[in-house]
Structure 1
Amino acid sequence: MPFFSSERAPIITYLHLHESDKFSIGIFCLPPTSVIPLHNHPGMTVFSKLLFGTMHIKSYDWANEKIGSTNGEAIDPKGNPDGLRLAKRKVNSEFTAPCKTSILYPADGGNMHCFTAKTACAVLDVLGPPYCDPDGRHCQYYHEFPFSKFSVENLCLPSEEEKEGYSWLQERELPEDLSLVGVPYNGPKIVKK
């Protein structure tokens, strides 16, 4: 299929299968080296299934717990004036189909994730409820920074190893280099019974 050609720029194709006020279903077709940048699914549960190919997935959840400090005070991980917010990494691995379906919950399971295609691959996504700007469920993209890039006075994590599991995320505009094209789905219709 032309959606997976490595001879063209890494354009990601989205086949929109179905949408209702309760959920949406779609398939992302990624040619080799293409990337869906780090983004979120606010207030949504997402089922993602790698249909074929190999993909690297990195995902985060917000570090909502208060993190201790050397002076005994709690440090709020929810951000600072620079818009940075602490996130805890949930997944940083390569997956090859067939593999298990991943489930992202609104506050757990890696609600913010990034997909990098190692080979041509396709991902089926079911979102419940679907994105909806008026209801506050809009896609936000993020820059990712290593934990060590910013110093936090008196921050006390149990070990150096644990620090590796945290990163700072900062909201960003829609990435200019993201090439995502929607195409019509011409397969069987999904109907209510």
Structure 2
Amino acid sequence: MPMREKVPGQRKGKDYMESRKNRRRQRRLLPVQVLYNTCEQVFADCGPGIVPDPEKIRLLKTVLDGISGADVGVNPNMPFFREQKTEGLPTITYLHIHECDKFSIGIFCLPPSAVLPLHNHPEMTVFSKLLFGTMHIKSLDWVNGIPSNKVPDGDSSDALSAEARLAKVKVDADFIAPCDTSILYPTDGGNMHCFTAVTQCAVLDVLGPPYNDAEGRHCAYYIEHPLDRISANGISIAEEEREGYEWLQERDKPEGLTVYGVPYSGPPIAK
């Protein structure tokens, strides 16, 4: 019996056909539904401190890179983004899209000058997509192997700890939409960050896993101290690099910080 000639590049089998069907199905879905489905896939086998595989990281980043404000029902004309003529920090609105034990999806809506103070993401992998606007982001990671040092008395009345840990600055720059999705990891990529709205802006956030006080993943806030303000015994850092390091001291939740949660009202997702 003559052998049937194999067409170069041809792929066969049930898995290939199923993959083609999935791609066609994804093309028909709303972008926010694709995001939800992708998060389910990416975080399915993950947990606290477990980072998704690099291929899955790239997959979710690609989906987020392609999402716009319109895809999740937000735009600069919404009341959440209006400039606030009040004393203290402007109110930030959080649109809750989804949360389960594996991941959460939501949108931070920041009016001009709003600040989400320096805070951490314990044992989490976090994806942040700036949907519109200009935002200043500062992020840091702990420097391992360096002991904590005592903060001078009177330096921080709202602190929870008398000691500070050394951290290295990873990012300290303005971001203007459209821009690539930023990713931080449990011990790298700027796990502690601060958002400052230069203009009105919206940030689509994906956390895997989400905060959970009962499981020890609570949101901690920090006070920043210059490197030379606290004793640095045993630390050798070149003079030209010293501005890239800071001491971080855990603090109470900043007074005046208000994050107001509201239900998501954008395009629906099927769970």
Same fold at TM > 0.5: yes
Q: Which residue identity lines up with residue 214 of structure 2 in the other structure?
A: P
Whether the aligned pair in 2 keeps the contact of 1:3 and 1:12 (CA below 8 Å) is: yes
Aligned residues: 180
Q: Larger % of strand: which?
A: 1
2:171 pairs with 79, 88, 91, which one?
Answer: 91
Pick from 115, 120, 141 the counterpart of residue 40 of structure 1: 120
Q: CA deviation at 1:80?
A: 3.3
For residue 172 of structure 1, what is the aligned residue in structure 2? 251
- Residue 23 of structure 2: aligned partner: none
Any gaps of 5 or more consecutive residues in structure 2?
Answer: 1-77, 151-161
Q: CA deviation at 1:21?
A: 1.0
1:161 aligns to what SS in structure 2?
Answer: helix
Q: CA 1:177–1:78 in 2, change beyond 3 Å: closer, same or farther? A: farther
Identity of aligned residues (%): 67
Which 4+ runs in 1 deviate beyond 3 A?
none
| 1:151 to 1:78, Cα distance in 2 relative to 1, 3 A | closer
Q: Residue 61 of structure 2 aligns with which residue?
A: none
What SS class does the counterpart of residue 186 from structure 1 fall into?
coil
Counterpart pick for 1:80 among 126, 129, 149: 149
- Structure 1: distance between partners of 2:131 and 2:109: 10
Aligned to 2:66: none
Gaps of 5+ in 1: 67-76
Q: Select between 144-153 and 131-140 the one with higher mean Cα deviation.
A: 144-153
Contact 2:149 2:232 in 1 (8 A): no
Between structures 1 and 2, the one with greater helix share: 2
Distance 2:202 2:192 in 1: 19
* Matched residue type, 1:55: M
Letter in 2 for 1:42: P
1:145 aligned residue: 225
Q: 1:86-139 CA deviation, whole Å, 9 max, x = no partner?
A: 000000000000011000000000000000000000000000001111111110
Q: Take 1:94 and 1:182, find their aligned partners in 2: how far apart are those partners?
A: 26
> Does the 8 Å CA contact 1:18/1:190 hold for their aligned counterparts?
no
Structure-1 separation of matches of 2:163 and 2:189: 23
Partners of 2:228 and 2:192 lie apart in 1 by: 20
Give the drift of 1:188. Answer: 3.1
Output one character per residue of 1:5-26: Cα deviation in whole Å (capped at 9) or x when no partner: 1144411100010011110000
Change (3 A) 1:143 1:109: same
Pair member with larger Rg: 2
Give the match for residue 134 of structure 1. Answer: 214
CA separation of 1:7/1:164 partners in 2, compared to 1, >3 Å: closer, same or farther? Answer: closer
Q: Is the 8 A contact 2:84 2:111 kept in 1?
A: no
Whole-angstrom CA distance in 2 between matches of 1:131 and 1:155: 33
Match of 1:69 in 2: none
Cα drift, residue 191 of structure 1: 2.7
Of 106, 116, 134, the match for 1:26: 106
Tell me how large the CA RMSD over aligned residues is: 1.2
Work out which of the residue numbers 136, 140, 161 in structure 2 matches 1:56: 136
Q: TM-score, normalised by structure 2?
A: 0.64
Question: Aligned partners of 1:41 and 1:78: how far apart in 2?
Answer: 21
Shift of 1:147: 0.7
Q: In the alignment, which residue of structure 1 is the partner of 2:17?
A: none
**1:45-81 superposed Cα distances (whole Å, 9 cap, x missing partner):** 00000000000000000001x3xxxxxxxxxx24135
Partner in structure 2 of residue 6 of structure 1: 83
Structure possessing the higher relative contact order (Cα contacts under 8 Å, 6 or more residues apart) = 1
